[in-house]
Amino acid sequence: MTTANSSAPATSNGAFDISAKTGNPNAGLRGDYSAMRADFTVPQVMNDYTSEQQARWLRLVERQLALLPGRACREFLDAVTGNPALDMRHGIPDFDSVNGALKAATNWQLVAVPGLLPDDVFFTHLANRRFPVTVWLREESEFDYIVEPDLFHDFFGHVPMLFTPIYADHLEAYGHGALKAKRLGGLDWLGRLYWFTIEFGLIREGEKVLAYGAGVMSSPKELVYAVESAIPKRVPFDVMTSMRTPYLIDDVQSTYFVLDSLQQLRDDTAPDFTPFYATLASEPPRAI
């Protein structure tokens, strides 16, 4: 799953089944998979980042930071402006340096990966409170649009919210639920839930509707559009409705689901989804 409308793709990993490849299992994949371990993690070699990449990172960060006030939810904004571990204005982050603060905050850790992961590998990492972050950064020609998730999308878009305990707990539970959904044939529906929450979710704060999803937070175009445009529909979050709603992979979203709180996300996704899959199997996706 990718998006063609934003500066970063809409999903981190888990959307590419490497096992489906034959011959070279890494054919067609961007990133160096030659050094990966059994769990698909790789070393993050800080000295491998060039001065040009460091400069590009800083430009990406500065552009997006300038857009956050009045558009990003409080948890995200507090993390990127008040947490020293997330000061991204000094260069590409060293995951090991971030992990101490992240583990203390929510008992999560970042793991470096070469790129897209098989579904079961990605979900297993989430279920064990490990968040995969791609080590490579987009090229200059991809500054405004990139097909696959890169370091900027994964780190800037996802990592700040991992410092919020209730969100971090939800993401672990999602990992467990996704592994079960794969066994039950429910992964497509659970993927829509991920899309409309973790990637493109909005949340209400008082009279305002703000963003928290990583696909929105890492994209200058989508962030402004999702929060301010009069064009898209913004509807109250509902698990079943989000699971049956088709999404757009090549344009900004036509529909965004709005939480009343992060507690709602945790509570509404706590039930066993097995009965949901049986119901959804008899229904085609339908736009709101």
242: annotated active-site residue: no
In this structure, which amino acid lies at residue 49? Y
Grouping H, G, I as helix, E, B as strand and the rest as coil, residue 92 is coil
Active-site residue 218, yes or no?
Answer: yes
Catalytic residue (one of 153, 170, 219, 242): 153
- Give the Cα separation of 112 and 90 in Å (integer): 19
Give how far Cα 53 sits from Cα of 87, 125, 182, Å: 17, 27, 37
Q: What is the Cα Rg of the chain in Å?
A: 18
Nearest-CA neighbor of 134 among 153, 161, 106?
Answer: 153
* Tally of CB atoms within 10 A around 270: 12
Q: H-helix or E-strand containing 81?
A: helix 74-82
Catalytic residue (choose from 218, 219, 222, 242): 218
Rounded Cα distance, 84 and 176, in Å: 31
Size of the chain in residues: 288
Cβ-contact 17, 119 below 8 angstroms: yes
Spot the catalytic one: 199, 219, 222, 242: 199
CA nearest to 192, candidates 66, 97, 288, 116: 288
Catalytic residue, candidates 158, 170, 222, 242: 158
Q: Is 153 a catalytic residue?
A: yes
Active-site positions read 153, 158, 199, 218
